[in-house]
A = this chain, B = another copy of it.
């Protein structure tokens, strides 16, 4: 029930939205026809990538001392009300369970929109002494938000993510965790071949209940940014609200400081699709592809058996070396198969004809640039893995170059608008990233039809300059339209 690859004919550069929505259906990644608005069904072709994305992040988190936990999907209404800002921020987005069987429940349960209020009531029980700290726990799960406009992998009423909830003895350790979250993202983003910007969000755009919010944005081809991870320094806001305390070595009581980090696994899929795909379809990095190599026999009369046998030998050889591959032995033509697997984004293709079967060689074709190399059977596994690694490196380089081209310096709100219309970030100044800056930011947003202050770029040298709206001296920030 999926679109033939010949029918897929969309212009990614000039009509990204149509390209994106069509490829999700055409490549059989998800089905949006489930009969609850905003909830999608994930098909095997996306699930295989989701499993790898989860493994990538979980492995990296565990290297840094995070440990897995799993909390209930439901949170009682009372918990929400403990941290006031948080409650106000999330209540409008919550799905409420009010009945068990045919009985009304005494109190409502929320489907978790995020799990701070579930974790902190338990941290209240678990944290007593300095020796109980730090706690660095993560859970891989879905969360629920009542959204009206939805789009697969970008915005949904139920989506996949990881959430870490971390408690530290003091502010210094908690702030170091923000740095560590950035490092984890950098390592994972390299595997995804995705360059990103790590911003400190302005005060008016922070997480409900946080002291500071840091967020990871990626620029999509239509010039809108997609936030795909956030990390929040929560100070002692949540620990105080939930009465989490510990005694230090001298028996003195303290409120610990805490952080949370939310790698948006769902949105990473959107970023992978949007960044690497082309007008032929998807392009998956070799390290994360649902299938790494497709082997396609080129039939020749009288030679079918030999070709088929040799294809199977290659499959066995590659699998023995840890490469995920498959022989497409369907009755379609080779041309049809090329198009089909290109649409699906399989990074490498191996073509086997009568000559290759006889000479024990193979031609390896890259999905991204169609470069071909020929090698002997004995070198094949090594060659496939090297070619895959090279493809990934090139995907990252290309995406990095694209991003560099997409930052334009702007001095006035007119110049900001021009940069955004050119599908770029505007690098400019705003009078303040504290609450006082909100007026200029709103004026800028209205003037540029949606340009928002994404924040100060973490790691970039701090310089100050004149606000592009009011002219007062302020901080250097990046402006972009966003998803």
Residues of A participating in the B interface, judged by any CB pair closer than 8 Å: 1, 31, 33-36, 39-44, 47-48, 50-51, 67-76, 78-79, 91-102, 108-109, 111, 118, 121-122, 125-126, 128, 132, 137, 142, 144, 146, 158, 160
Residues of B within 8 A of A91 (CB): 101-102
A245 CB to closest chain B CB, in angstroms? 14
A33–B123 Cα distance when bound, in Å, is: 11
Evaluate contact between B47 and A68: CB separation under 8 angstroms. yes
Candidates B1, B97, B125; contact of A126 at CB < 8 Å: B1
Say whether B73 contacts A44, CB under 8 Å. no
The closest CB in chain B to the CB of A148 belongs to B100
Given known contacts A39-B72, A98-B99, A101-B93, A31 and B1 CB-to-CB distance under 8 angstroms: no
Query: In angstroms, how far is the closest chain B Cβ from the Cβ of A32?
Result: 11
Q: Choose one: B1, B51, B99, B142; the contact of A125 (CB below 8 Å).
A: B1
How many copies of this chain sit in the oligomeric assembly?
A: 2
The interface residues of chain A, by DSSP majority, are classed as mixed
7 contacts between A and B (CB under 8 A): A34-B122, A36-B72, A48-B68, A70-B160, A73-B73, A73-B142, A74-B95
With A39-B74, A72-B41 known as contacts, the answer to whether A96 contacts B95 (CB < 8 A) is: no
Q: How far is the CB of A144 from chain B (nearest CB, A)?
A: 8
CB distance from A67 to the nearest CB of B (A): 4
Q: Which residues of B contact A51 (CB under 8 A)?
A: 68
Does the CB pair A69–B95 fall under 8 Å? Answer: no
Q: Are B69 and A47 in contact (CB under 8 A)?
A: yes
**Minimum CB–CB distance for A332 against chain B, Å:** 12
Q: In the assembled complex, how far is the CB of residue A327 from the closest CB belonging to chain B, in whole angstroms?
A: 15
Tell me the complex Cα distance, A95–B110, Å. Answer: 11
Q: Pick the contact of A146 from B76, B101, B108 — CB < 8 Å?
A: B101
Contact yes or no, B100 A132, CB < 8 A: no
Q: Is the CB of A125 within 8 A of B33?
A: yes
CB contact between A92 and one of B79, B101, B144 (< 8 Å): that residue: B101
Which listed residue (B67, B99, B126, B158) contacts A47, Cβ 8 A?
Answer: B67
